Amino acid sequence: MAATAPGAANPCPPRSDACHFADLPPTVGAHSLYRLMFSGALAAYVDCSPTPAVASAAMLPLVEAVTAAQPAGTIRNVDAGTVAMAIWGQVHGLVGLELTNMDAPGTEWEGIYAAGLDAVTRGWAS
């Protein structure tokens, strides 16, 4: 599942499934940027203390997507923040595995992301 460029229209039809999470994360072609952000390399030079307000703003589109899908009955009607955090964690866990080369030669990450997003979708389905 290819990522959509920031600001580009999501090519997915309007529905509430893993297709809508195709924007997260845009790792294809951005490995060096993700490594820089998440490897801790900047910690020696910049105070990278967590900022809850910034994190909340980053999560907002995902929380909104979950909230919008709940009345349609496609995602369980539980706390949207909990669902969003679980989705965020799974997707970023996959990013971490890919960036640290925790794979066998020839691993097809696109298929792994698709399987992970499918599992998220099925796991939170109502």
Residues 34, 27: Cα–Cα separation, whole Å? 7
pLDDT at 10: 40
Q: What is the mean pLDDT of each successive set of 10 residues along the chain, which is 126 residues long?
A: 41 39 48 65 68 82 93 92 92 84 86 90 90
Which token pair is 62?
Answer: 């995902």
Quick check: pTM over 0.75?
no
pLDDT at 39: 66
pLDDT at 109: 86
Class (C level, CATH) for 50-126: mainly alpha
Contact 21, 120 (CB under 8 A): yes
Look-up: residue for tokens 């529905």? 15
Contact 124, 72 (CB under 8 A): no
